[in-house]
Amino acid sequence: MILTVTLNAALDITYRVPTLTPHASHRVTEVIERPGGKGLNVARVLAALGHDVTVTGFAGGDTGRVLHDRLAREPRVTDALAPVEGATRRTLAIVDAASGDTTQLNEPGPTVTPAEWSAFRESYEDLLRRGMSAVALCGSLPPGVPVGAYATLVRAARAAKVPVLLDTSGEALRRGVAARPDIVKPNADELAELTGAHEPAQAARDARRRGAHAVVASLGAEGLRAVTPEGTWQAAPPTRVHGNPTGAGDSAVAGLLSGLVEELPWPQRLARAVALSAATVESPVAGEFVASTYEDLLARVAVTGEATAA
C-alpha cells in the first residue's frame, strides 16, 4: 500500500469552452469534477498503474462531502482524509478547445486549527505504522498549517522506515529538504529558488547537499533530470505533446513512486515518469493519462547518463 498526503485537497472542476475570450460570456460544452490536489492526482495515476493507495489530508464542509463521495468511487483508493471545520477548496480549470490552453483558478483552502493539525499528525503516524511501502507528500499548505509541516511529516516517515517523496515549493520545500526525504521533485524554478543556482544539474547537486537523498528536477518539455547516489540521468520525451499540462508533474511523481516501490533501476523510473507525464498532457483532466500514448512513449523515451562508479 502506498500513502499519498494532500494537505490542501480540492474538488477539481474542469470547464471546456470552444474559445476563452476575456470579458465575454461563454457556453460550457463539458464539465468534469474530480477529487483534486497534487497527492490525489498522484493516487489516481498510481491506482491506474495497479497499485493500492491510501489518501490522507484534510476535507471539510459541503465540498469535502462531495470529495469523500467521489473518492468512494475510485478503484484501489482508500479514503483516509481527516475532518476539518472549514470547507475544502475548489479549483477551476477552463480549457480553451481552440488553442488547447488552460486557465487555472485556485481557492486558498480551509484554515486548519492547531487541534486539527495535531489530530492529523497522529492519524498520519498511525497510517505509517500499517505497513506502507512509500509515502508522497504533495502540494501547497492550507492556511493554519505550520510552514515546517512537511519537515515534520518527512521525519515521521523516516522514523517509521517508510521511503518518502516530497513535492512542494518555497519555504515548505526548503524546510522539508533539511529533514532528508528520499526523493524531492521540484521544477526548475523551484529548484533555483531553493538553491540560488539556475543550472539544473548544479542546483540538483546543491539540493542534495541540503539534505535530499535524490533530486529529480522537472525541466518541462526537456523531461526530467535525476541526481542520485546511484548516478545521474536525464530522460526526455521523444516528441512534444500538446494539450492540458495540469497534473503532468503529479503523474511524474506517480511514475517515480511506483518505480521506487517496484525497485526499478533509476533509468526505468525516469522513463516511466516522463511517459506518464507526457501522456497526462493529452488527458482533459489532471490525474488521468491516455494509456495508448503512455505505452507508445514509454518505448521511445530517451534516457542518458551514467551510474556512479562503485
The helix/strand/coil state of 144 is: coil
Are 251 and 220 in contact by the 8 Å Cβ rule? The answer is no
The helix/strand/coil state of 107 is: coil
- Concerning whether 167 is annotated as a catalytic residue, the answer is no
Bridge partners of 104, per DSSP, are 93
Are 15 and 30 in contact by the 8 Å Cβ rule? The answer is yes
How many angstroms separate the CA atoms of 183 and 68, rounded?
29
Q: Which of 62, 101, 250, 296 is catalytic?
A: 250
Can you list the positions of beta strands (E) in the chain? 2-6, 10-17, 30-36, 53-59, 77-79, 82-83, 89-96, 102-106, 134-138, 164-167, 183-184, 214-218, 224-228, 231-236, 302-307
Q: Which residues are known to be catalytic? A: 250
